[in-house]
Structure formats: C-alpha cells, structure tokens
Structure 1
C-alpha cells in the first residue's frame, strides 16, 4: 500500500480528504495526520510516507517551508498542495518544489482523486526507472490551470493573462523551452479553454486552435498565442453576458450548481451576469418557480443529505462542505428544509 500523510491545521479539511479519497481503489493508506510542518517532518521520519498532502497556510512551519524541506531532504516523496487562497505566490512555490498537483479549497472529490492517481503514476514511473517528461510537465501545469480556471469563471481577464504570463516565465526558468515541450503546454491550455467554454455555454467550435510552428518556437511566442486565444474567448463571454438581449437562466443555474459551497449572493450573481439583482430575482423565480436564495439552499441541502449517507464524514464537516461555517445554523436550516435533524436522518438511513 502507498502510504499517505495529511498535513493541515484545520481538522475538517483533513476529514474531507479522508472521506473523499478512494484509498482502497488506489492502493493507498493514510498513515498519519499533522497540524503543521514541524509535526509533519517528525512523522515523516517515523512513518516514511510516499505521498504528503499539505495545506499552505498553517501556524508555525507552514506549507511553503515544508515543501522546501521535503525538496531538500526527501525528494522521493510526492506532494499535493491544497490552498484556500487563489494566490500566485503559493502556485509558484508549488511549482518550484515540484508538487504533483495543486488543489483549491473547498476540495473537490474528483480533483483530489485525480491528484492521488497522478502521484501513483509518478511513483510507479520512478520504480520502473523512467521519468516521463510529458507527465512531469503536465503536473507542473496543474497549478496554473487551477488559477486560470478560477479567473476565467470569474470573468477576470486581467487575472487570466497575468497567470499565463507567470506560468510561462516560471516554466522557462525551469528549462521548458524546447518546441516539443511548448507544444504540450499549448495543447493542454487549449484543452482547458475548451472545457471552460463548454462550462460557460460557449460554442467551442468558435475556438480556432490551430497554430503554426512560429507560435510555439519560444516561451514568449507561446504566451502570446495563448493570451490571444484566452482573451478572445473571454471577451466574447463578457460581451455575451453583458449585452445580450435575454438573460440565459440556464447559465445562471449552472453557475450556481458549480459554486454552491461558496458564499454566492444574489448581488454577486447579478454582477457576474450584468443584470440588476431585481431583474435576476424576478426572472429566475418566473422560470424555475423558486427564488435564487431558495435554489442555492436546495442545492446545499441535497448535497448535505447525500453526504450524510457516508458515516465516515462528521456532520460538522458536512456543514462546512455545504457552505455553512456555523454548525448550529446548519442544523436549523437542515431541519427546516427536511423536517428532521441531520443526526436523525443519518440514524434512520442505517435502519
């Protein structure tokens, strides 16, 4: 079994990771937990894990220091970084110290298991004495792709272009300069762009992804190419949302379904879709029979009900994952919605 150590000062984040990791299927075992980098280093010496999943912001020895020490003293250990902060400095450290993947909080189960699968592949490649460059490069890009995804969905063009620039400079400083490598960078970022366009109801056929050799002959040219493609598509999305004659309520609904765990308000939704909150509220209720706030609550409650079926997830953790920091308030909302308390529903499901 591949041994895994979890490092995070927040117990509920550790609980989420333990609950959502497909440990048996991946052939992995959690052998310990630590609340800061110093405790993690002590456990690493004792337990010899092959994978370390770590938060970045922690009291005492933080994730940045831990990554640095692992890179210096335990290069065989593969790391997955988790951060609640959409900050390029953390992404830069994750790349520099060769993290396999970079996840943003709240942790998505699919992304967590993909990251663990990536770690497993790297470990298996090392055992077979081969270092697949394409996989290594793909893992380096994972951090930046998370940031690009976040900025694109927030209609933040400046954030997208800045991240692309940071990415290319960081990759160049790490020796990613050959045309074959730059071609992989371009292809992966174009696939991400297609995925983002689909998620935002854009026609991916509008993306002209073809490029000549001159577009990838240098890091500067690759950056310019990607910046042009992302700028064109994001500007189209902004114009579509800002100036279209009719609000696409399916887009609003999809956005809510993808961001239910975040503190999304009616005001934020209205800004994202360039309409007044009064108009959005009126049209949403007219289309779906319930207002924006009620629908967001419905999404959270349905998710919470599903998670309750898994007894390994503490109810406090379920409240956090559903977007409620105050567990007392979560209990009250849940009981009002379903007519039964979370603990009672869990108990009834066991019968």
Structure 2
C-alpha cells in the first residue's frame, strides 16, 4: 500500500512519518507533497490508498484537494490533520468523504487508531471491488466471450473469417481485408510476483483485468483489440490493425498503466505485420516464438519482437546425461545423494547462461520420461505407473520475485519430487522383502498338497512371472526347487519313524503316487526311500 502526506510544513510531514508504524499496516511507500496542487499530480501518478492532508496550504488548499479526490480518486481514504478548529473545514471534510478530522498538535494514539480504520476500510472496499468485478465478469461475459472466440478461431484458422464475415463486420468494423495486422501475446507464465499474489485465487479475474486494461490503453478510435485466447498457455493476445509499426510503443504504455495500477509489468511477444486475415495466424506464431526464445534466467526487456534472423539456441545439455547418477541416488534412498545429483544438474544449467522456454520444456519432458523409466525399473509389476507420485503434467515455471526463472526453486522442486520417489522405492523394497518371506512361509505350510507357482501367485494376487523372478532374486532358487528341497528334507525326517509306511510319508509331503515319490526322492537324495531308511546311522 501507499500513503501520501500533504502539508506545507515539513516538520509536520516528518512528525506524521515518525508517529505511524507503516509496516504494521502493510504500507511500504510514503509519499510527500507540500500543497494540494502537487498532491493532485502525485495522486494521479501513484494512486496512493491513504491521504493525510492539512487544510490551509498555498496554491490548492485542503478543501479543494478533498473535492478533487472525491471526484477523481474516490477509492482513496482521506484523513484531515489541521491546526484550525473551523466548522466549515470540518463540514467540508465530511462532505467529501474524510474519515476523520484531527487537530494539531498530533496525538499519536488518535493517529494510529484512525490509520488502522482507514486501512481496514480500504481493504474492505477493495474486497468489494473485486467481488463487484467478479459479478461484472459473470453479467457481461457473453459478448466478450463471443469476441474472444471469433478472434481465437481466426488465429487458429484464418479461413474462419469468411464463415463469420458478417460478425467480424459488426464487432470489428475497422478491420479490412488485406490491411496490415500485427499480434502480441502476454507471457502469463512469467508474470510478476505481485500480480500472481494479488490474484492468487482469482486467475480469471486477473486475466479479465489485464485484458480490460489493454483495451483501455488501446483507446478510441480503436487501434486494435485485446482478447482471451483459449487454445494455448498464452491466454491474452492483442490484435492491432491501426499503425501496427507502433505496437511496441503501445505495449510500453500498457505496461506503464499496469505499473501504476499494480506496481508490476508483464512480458509481451510481438509478431511481424502481415495482411489480414491470413496473416493473423502467422503473426501470432511469431509472437509465441519470440517468447519461447527469450532468456528466462535474466530479463533484458519487457517487449520481445520476433527476429527471423535470431540464431537458434538448441539445447546442448540434456537431463538424460544425468540418468545413471540420479537413478543410483534414488536407489540409495539418500536425500543427500539426491540433492547432490540434482545440484550437479542445476550447476550445469546455470553454466549455460541462457535458458529458453524450449530448453525448459525439453528438460521437463526428459525428467518425466526418465521418472517413468525408473518407476518401471524399480517396480517391475504390472501397476508400475501407479507408483509414480501424482504431479501435474504442466507444472508452473519456478520463478523468483522478479518473474525470472529461479534455478534454486527448480532445484528444490526436482529434489522433493525424487525424494518422494526414493521413499516409495524404499518402502516398496521393504514390503516386497516381507512379501517374499510370506510367500516362503505359505509354501512351507502347503508342502503336503499339490502346490504350484500359479497357485502361489494367485493366492497373493501377483503375476506368476513376478513371483518367480522376485523369489529367485531373494532365495537364489526357483519356487519349484524350494518346494522340492523342503519336501525332501521333511521326507527324510519322516522316514526316521519306522512306524510310518513309505506311502504315508509320500502323502505327507504332497505325493499321491508312492512310485513317483520314490523316483523323485532317489533323484534328489541318491537313494530310494527304503534304502535311505536302511542306511546305518540315519
């Protein structure tokens, strides 16, 4: 927020500045004016939210200033601080919306109290203004949406102009076939932090406000039209048909207006001028290209004209080059190893000195592809993809407060994502080890029945291939060999009991056919069951 102190005595302005705890009220900019005339100029330029004013001043007095604010900046909250206890002054302050009339010498407690009320009142009004704007969007949405769709269709397919030629003539009578037209697009992906924070929960309201400001700056008679483009991640475009060579200057004016209103600017990509309607699509594509080729690490300009002679910045660095290092770090389940691997990647990115949107899209795609590959490697079951941590496929660009690419935040995002994956790998490995031992116990409990690998897999709701592979990885033998070995060990123990017949022993270890049991036993032990029973010492 901003405040303005208006008084012809400097020591009074200094006193007010000292008595108010500005930061406690969220006021980070305090302006000063020595009279009403200079105050009017400052209010028109800086749009402060709160104005403290004296009444008796040279040039334009306090009453005239209040009248001007009431007419031209009614959202301002005004507080009168005067040395004159005059009824006419008090009545004028009330008439023109003054919140209070304080007498000099200034009482610090009163000043703090009325400042708090003024801030609360302005915040409440601001919320009402936002809600009113939202209502206005809903009430007046049909015609703007229709215009947006007309122009969006034109950009996608210039031939649509001829199908809707009558509508274009009605909505945009200034547009003429064959006239030069030029398109600029707003870079919503690198929008300034103040804009993003102000409209954090109201993206539609932000885009609505930006579009309206652009159209207000275009002015009358219309030089062009700003519209919502629905088909890409560049949601606002400006089509200009009058003096298209001056589009960059118009965009500078729009940014100045945005800065006065929101203390923020936006980046624009600008295409070349081409004949309407066929050239609209080409100009839009050029504007997109200009934004995709800009350096996200360091902003050098707010306006980015398309340059057909600009050398291509192909990506010489690939995240896939770090495949082994990152994969091993994930396998280790060590946060420190993952941080080290990603830090190495970020340092390589930083050394390039320039990162474009094309580079970033490529690297993000490589990151997602490698993650999918690692998941299939770490979780070889049929549901491997379900193991991938849920993340948006179109994550926003990690930005600093200036709207530039923040490698530090990107590093944090990548590290956090892989740490979550590593934790899943660790838990899954632990669960799988427990599961394999549960399978072994289950097999041992079923040695007296006709058990198979397929039955085991079905019991645990796993595929036969997965159970076989993991079992052998853990125990160094197949399930069939494991079953045979434990059956033979149990059979040898049972044969030591002379009261048990061989047929009974065979049945107790899962064989219904005594002859087949004897054959298997001899092959495994080197002697028939009868021979094994007669061996001395056994």
User: TM-score w.r.t. structure 1 length?
Assistant: 0.36
Q: Which has the higher contact order (CA 8 A, sep 6+)?
A: 1
Question: Highest Rg: 1 or 2?
Answer: 2
User: TM-score w.r.t. structure 2 length?
Assistant: 0.24
Higher share of residues assigned helix: 1
